[in-house]
């Protein structure tokens, strides 16, 4: 057998790949599984967006390469969206880099900046890709605890000076996955100033900005005056516009970082399909009213989940954003994995133990709202029974 590269020694099975394997085994044995684990929207985009994709796919002239960074209209649709949604002005040529979903952009950023010994500040619990990208690139993760008593915000002042001296990147993600925590603009103001002071590239992952409830409207880190000096922001249409399978996103902000990451990216892929570019333009520039109806569906599911979990002794706050509910496990269980295993093996309910997102996720589980309302209601009935 040919020996693998040394970097493969730090690669771990992706948590959902392992979970899906066990679900398939149980399904093969006849068990009905309700999946509340992956954050994959079950609802489609609105009909206008779908029809745009169909029309483009039928056009024989739209099946060649779409350009490394897409068309000018494609890039401009992202900057127009940010101008309308956040009041942020961006240059579509220098301050916008389209992605095949933001996940690959997170990896590219790690490889573009991190040498062995360089540190990336990573929220814990947090999206696992921040850690895996850092480690595979050869960097060292330093975990910033997200605690309920701090409103699920990291304590930047608690990071040791010797760590900051080696730090190149800081990852933030609000509205937050998995905690559903939110951050005020004042926190981003502090984070931007902190990163300027310590010469750290602030990387804000912002895929849930359109998933607010009860009138909550999420801000962008780029709204902070001077943020573009030190900040890049990742935006994806996976959750915002129910386009997860189309794999489309963007990095926006600091032009120097955009250029560097783009140089790496052009050596890795050949850009998005033109039909997806047309669909993205339609999604970002067309009617946005359907998103409010979509959020009402998520809100109904959120309320069902919160009521069901509280009924069995879980401590859970009512999320103001994201498509997740983050809940403490019932007091009769000692670990999140133990309750998760019980629910999967005995009740046919698959959710994600908090430890999948880091050590500080122990004692919690994450429930996704990306399953039909009927099935979510059934899952809560199984739990409360």
| Nearest of 37, 96, 377 to residue 248 by alpha carbon | 96
In this structure, what token pair is assigned to residue 248?
């489309």
> What local confidence, expressed as pLDDT, does residue 100 receive?
96
> What local confidence, expressed as pLDDT, does residue 137 receive?
96
CATH value of 63-285 in 3.40.50.720, 3.40.640.10, 3.30.565.60, 3.40.50.2000: 3.40.640.10
The answer to whether residue 16 scores a pLDDT higher than 90 is no
Q: How confident is the model at residue 1 (pLDDT cuts 50, 70, 90)?
A: confident
- Per DSSP, 43 falls in state S
> What local confidence, expressed as pLDDT, does residue 105 receive?
97
Domain ranges of the chain: 6-45+290-384, 63-285
Q: How confident is the model at residue 265 (pLDDT cuts 50, 70, 90)?
A: very high
For the stretch 173-230, pLDDT in tens is 999 999 999 999 999 999 999 999 999 999 999 999 999 999 999 999 999 999 999 9
Percentages (nearest 5) of helix, strand, coil residues in the chain: 45, 15, 40
Q: Using an 8 Å Cβ cutoff, are 155 and 109 in contact?
A: no
The mean pLDDT value for 278-292 works out to: 96
Q: Dihedral of CA 135/137/143/147: which sign?
A: negative
Q: How confident is the model at residue 10 (pLDDT cuts 50, 70, 90)?
A: confident
What gap in Å lies between CA 211 and CA 208, rounded to an integer?
Answer: 5
The answer to whether residue 159 scores a pLDDT higher than 90 is yes
The answer to whether residue 15 scores a pLDDT higher than 80 is no
Percent of the chain with pLDDT strictly greater than 90: 93
- 């996940």: which residue's tokens? 103
The answer to whether residue 19 scores a pLDDT higher than 90 is no
In this structure, what token pair is assigned to residue 362?
């122990």
SS3 98: strand
> What local confidence, expressed as pLDDT, does residue 363 receive?
97
- The pairing of beta strand 167-173 with beta strand 34-35: unpaired
Q: Which residues pair with 234 in a beta bridge?
A: 205, 251
For the stretch 40-93, pLDDT in tens is 999 999 999 999 999 999 999 999 999 999 999 999 999 999 999 999 999 999
For the stretch 124-141, pLDDT in tens is 999 999 999 999 999 999
- Determine if residue 308 is left, alpha or beta; phi over 0 gives left, psi from -120 to 50 gives alpha, anything else beta: alpha
Percent of the chain with pLDDT strictly greater than 70: 100
The mean pLDDT value for 28-35 works out to: 94
Q: Is domain 6-45+290-384 annotated with CATH 3.40.50.720?
A: no
> What local confidence, expressed as pLDDT, does residue 12 receive?
79
| Radius of gyration of the chain measured on its C-alpha atoms | 21
What gap in Å lies between CA 44 and CA 54, rounded to an integer?
Answer: 14
For the stretch 324-364, pLDDT in tens is 999 999 999 999 999 999 999 999 999 999 999 999 999 99
> What local confidence, expressed as pLDDT, does residue 368 receive?
97
């Amino acid at each position: 057998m040919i020996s693998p590269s040394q970097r493969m020694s730090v690669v771990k099975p992706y948590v959902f790949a392992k979970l899906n394997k066990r679900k398939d085994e149980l399904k093969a044995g006849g068990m009905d599984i309700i999946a509340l684990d992956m954050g994959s929207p079950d609802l489609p985009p609105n009909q206008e967006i779908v029809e745009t994709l169909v029309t483009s796919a039928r056009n024989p002239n739209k099946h060649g390469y779409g350009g490394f960074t897409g068309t000018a209209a494609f890039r401009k649709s992202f900057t127009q969206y940010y101008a309308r949604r956040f009041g942020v002005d961006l240059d579509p040529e220098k301050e916008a880099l389209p992605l095949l979903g933001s996940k690959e952009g997170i990896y590219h950023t790690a490889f573009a900046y991190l040498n062995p010994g360089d540190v990336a500040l990573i929220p814990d619990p947090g999206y696992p890709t921040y850690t895996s990208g850092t480690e595979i690139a050869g960097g060292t993760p330093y975990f910033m605890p997200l605690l309920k008593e701090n409103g699920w915000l990291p304590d930047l002042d608690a990071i040791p000076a010797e760590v900051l001296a080696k730090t190149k990147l800081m990852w933030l993600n609000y509205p937050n996955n998995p905690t559903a925590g939110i951050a005020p603009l004042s926190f981003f103001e502090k984070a931007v100033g902190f990163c300027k002071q310590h010469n750290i590239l602030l990387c804000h992952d912002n895929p849930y900005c359109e998933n607010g409830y009860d009138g909550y409207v999420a801000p962008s880190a780029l709204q902070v005056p001077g943020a573009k000096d030190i900040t890049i922001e990742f935006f994806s249409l996976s959750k915002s516009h129910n386009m997860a399978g189309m794999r489309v996103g963007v990095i926006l902000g600091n032009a120097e970082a955009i250029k560097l990451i783009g140089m790496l990216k052009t050596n890795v892929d050949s850009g998005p399909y033109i039909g997806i570019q047309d669909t993205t333009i339609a999604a970002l520039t067309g009617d946005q009213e359907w998103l409010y109806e979509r959020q009402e569906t998520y809100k109904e599911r959120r309320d069902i989940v919160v009521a069901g979990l509280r009924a069995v002794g879980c401590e859970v706050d009512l999320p103001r954003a994201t498509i997740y509910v983050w809940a403490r496990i019932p007091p009769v269980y000692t670990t999140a994995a133990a309750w998760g295993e019980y629910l999967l093996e005995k009740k046919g309910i698959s959710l994600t133990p908090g430890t999948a997102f880091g050590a500080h996720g122990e004692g919690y589980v994450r429930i996704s709202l990306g399953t039909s309302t009927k099935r979510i209601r059934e899952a809560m009935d199984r739990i409360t029974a």
